[in-house]
A and B are shown apart, each in its own frame.
Chain A
C-alpha cells in the first residue's frame, strides 16, 4: 500500500533521513521504533507532505505522492496524528473533529464517522462542546486520534500516541489501535514504547540516526538481542 524508497530529508544542512526505505502492506500494523532524534517524526512528516525529500520517492496505492501538498495527501486517504497532537486549543472538541473531516463530505458521511469516533472514545462525546485546550492529556490524545479518523483514512500515521500518558490510558490507546486494525485501517505507528508497539504490530523497523538499521516481523524484532538491549530494557 505504501512504499517509501530511499528517502533523504534535510533540515537546512542537517541530514535527518539518510536513504530510508520502508513498506507497509494493506491491513498491516507496522511500527517504527528508535530513540529520540532517530528521524521517526521526520519520516512521518515527509510521508504526509509537510516535508519534501531530496531525493526519494513515496508511492501510495501505486500512485507517486512525493511532493504533493498535505491536503491532497489527506484527500487520498492518509491520515496523520502528529507528535505533540497539534490540536486547535481555542476551538471546541466538535470543531476540532469537524476540521479533521475537512476533505470529506458533510451529512451522512460526517455523521457516521463521528459516531465511530464517539464509540471509540465516549469521553469526547461528553466533552464535545468544551474547548480542546481544557482537556486532560489523555483526552487530548484521544481527540487527536479521533480528529485524524474523521478524515476516513485508509492509512493512519500515528506519531508517539502514548507519550506522556498514564499507563492505563496507554493501554486503552493500544486497545483502540487493535480495534482499528480489525476494522481494516492500515497503521504506521511510530513509538518510543517499543514493547507495547511490538505487541500489536505485524512488522517493524528500527530507525537509528536517520537510517533503517533493522527490519523484520514483530516476533523477530522482539527476540533480537540488540533490540532487546536498546529498546526493550534488556
Chain B
C-alpha cells in the first residue's frame, strides 16, 4: 500500500472506532448532563441488547428485525433501571448513585452468567456485513461502513430531536439549569426517562456494532464501551453531547495512532496511554474541549 492509502485506511479505522465510541458515549453524556450520574450500568444495557439479538436470531427472527428488537430491549432496560434503581435515590450524593449503578451492573452481568452462560456466545451477522469493499490496495469492511453510516444518520436524527422537539429542548434545558426547568413547568421525571430511553437506545445500537466486529457476546462485554464512553465524554467535555461525540472521535483517532505508530511491544499498552492522557485532561482542562459544567474540580 502506498503512503496515502495507508493514511486513508487508518483514517477509516479511526472513524469506525470513533463512531462506536460515540454511540456508547452519548447515552452517558445525556444522563450525566441532567442527573450528574455516571451510569456505570450503561455497558450492561448495551450487553443485554446484544444478547437479545443473539436469542432472537436463534428463535428464527431475521437479523434486521432482531437488531431492532435488541435496541428496543436496551431501551426498556434503561428505562426500568431508572425507575427501579435510580429514581428512589435521586437526592443521594453522587457516590451513592455511582455505586448503585455498579451494583446494578454486577447484578445484570451475573444474571446473564447464571441464566445463560459465562462463556462468549457467537453473534451471527448477515453475510453482507462480513464482506468488504476494495479500493486499490485498501479494504473497507462493510460492517465498518455501516457503523459509520448509522452513526452519522443517528447523530442527525438526534440533533433534530434535541433542537426541534419540545421534550428534546426540555432535556437540554434541564441539563443547563434544573431549577429553572422545574419552574417552567417541565416535568423533570419525564425528561429523565426520555434521556435514559434515548441514551439506552444508542447503547443498543452500539452493541450491534461492537458485537458484530468482535464476533461474539459475553456477559462482561459492557465494561469496555462504558470506559471508552467515559473517556470520550471527559475529552469532549462532560455534560455536552456534541462534546461526547467529538471526544469519541478524538479517542478513536488517538488509539489508531498509538497502534499504527508505536512498536508492537509498546503498542500493547495503548489503553494505559489513553488513561494517562485522560488524567492529564482532567488536570489541565477538566471542562474538556466543549464542556460547560464547572463542577469537576474542588
Q: A91-B172, A91-B176, A99-B173 are in contact. Are A80 and B166 (CB under 8 A)?
A: no
Among A75, A87, A99, max chain B CB count under 10 A is at A99
Bitwise, B163-202 to A at CB < 8 A (1) or not (0) is 0001001101100110111111111100000000000000
Q: Is the interface of B mostly helix, strand, loop or mixed?
A: helix
> In this complex, what residue of A is CB-closest to B189?
A69
Q: Looking at the complex, which one of B172, B176, B185, B292 makes contact with A102 (CB distance below 8 Å)?
A: B185
A49–B180 Cα gap in the complex (Å)? 13
Chain B residues within an 8 Å CB radius of A151:
184-185
Query: When the two chains form their complex, are residues A71 and B172 in contact, meaning their CB atoms are under 8 A apart?
Result: no
Residues of A within 8 A of B185 (CB): 70-71, 74-75, 100, 102-103, 151
Given contacts A98-B166, A99-B184, A100-B184, contact A86 B179 (CB under 8 A): yes
The 8 closest A-B pairs by CB, nearest first: A74-B185, A86-B180, A103-B185, A70-B182, A88-B176, A71-B187, A88-B173, A99-B184
CB-based A-B contact count at 8 angstroms: 69
* Known contacts A75-B185, A99-B170, A147-B184; is-contact A89 B179 (Cβ 8 Å): no
If A86-B177, A87-B177 touch, whether A50 touches B172 (CB-CB below 8 Å) is: no
Known interface pairs A71-B187, A151-B185; A91-B169 also in contact (CB < 8 Å): yes
8 Å CB interface, A130-150 against B: 147-148
Q: How large is the interface on A (under 10, 10 to 19, 20 to 34, 35 or more residues)?
A: 20 to 34
Would you call A48 an interface residue if the criterion is a C-beta within 8 Å of the partner chain's C-beta atoms? Answer: yes
Contacts A87-B180, A88-B176, A102-B185 aside, 13 further interface pairs with beta carbons under 8 A come to A50-B183, A71-B186, A74-B184, A80-B183, A86-B179, A86-B183, A95-B169, A98-B166, A99-B173, A99-B181, A102-B186, A151-B184, A151-B185
List 17 contacting pairs A-B, 8 Å CB cutoff, sorted by A: A50-B182, A69-B187, A71-B185, A74-B185, A81-B183, A86-B177, A86-B180, A88-B176, A88-B180, A95-B173, A96-B173, A98-B166, A98-B169, A100-B184, A100-B185, A151-B184, A151-B185
Residues of A within 8 A of B170 (CB): 99, 102
Which residues of chain B are within 8 angstroms of A34 by Cβ–Cβ distance?
A: none
The answer for the CA separation of A79 and B169 in the assembled complex, in Å, is 20
Q: Which B residues from 241 to 292 make CB contacts under 8 A with A?
A: 292
